[in-house]
Amino acid sequence: MRLQKLSINGAVLIEAEPFSDQRGIFARFFCADELKEVLGDRQIVNVNYSRTAMKGAVRGMHFQYPPKAEMKFVRCIRGSVYDVIVDIRKGSPTFLQWFGAVLSEENMQMFCVPEGFAHGFQALEDGVEMLYLHTEFYSPELEGGLLYNDPVLGIKWPLLPTDVSKRDNHHGTIKKTFIGVAI
């Protein structure tokens, strides 16, 4: 695996190094030893899967508040998505900066989304499937989200959003979410 540090402090894009022969391909998708630099002493405690039916659908921007903030490893295993992370760590030199990249079954790239980041994606085709590895258990009482189209963030989604959940449409804006909250 190759680790590419991103312009947003702490975020990493991970590239698989597939082996191919006449049978097909083999690629390591996760190795705690190879990812020790970013994983540290954390352990993966939860693995989740999602399938998004419609091209243009947006999921996000999700995070968990401390003390249950989580690091996520996010990979597209079928189709392709435009995946976005936002630094929501108050005091960070990259606070409120976002980074987006296409993750696909073809490029086999994976985001390492550190604690204190919001995450979401837009399906670039029908029937995309995502795999998420988490370092913290899901805690509904500490779940948070940002509005995917918050003008302060200015995320440039590649397609017109075609489907957004009721929950994701009701996340707060940056101004409402971070008044008096330490992330």
The set of catalytic residues is 62, 132
User: Helix, strand, coil % (nearest 5) of the chain?
Assistant: 10, 40, 50
Distance CA 76, CA 99 (A): 16
Evaluated on CA atoms 103, 55, 88, 29, the torsion sign reads negative
Evaluated on CA atoms 75, 73, 101, 57, the torsion sign reads positive
Distance CA 92, CA 96 (A): 9
Evaluated on CA atoms 98, 111, 37, 17, the torsion sign reads negative
Distance CA 152, CA 150 (A): 5
The DSSP bridge pattern shows strands 24-26 and 2-5 to be unpaired
- DSSP, collapsed to helix, strand or coil, labels residue 167 as helix
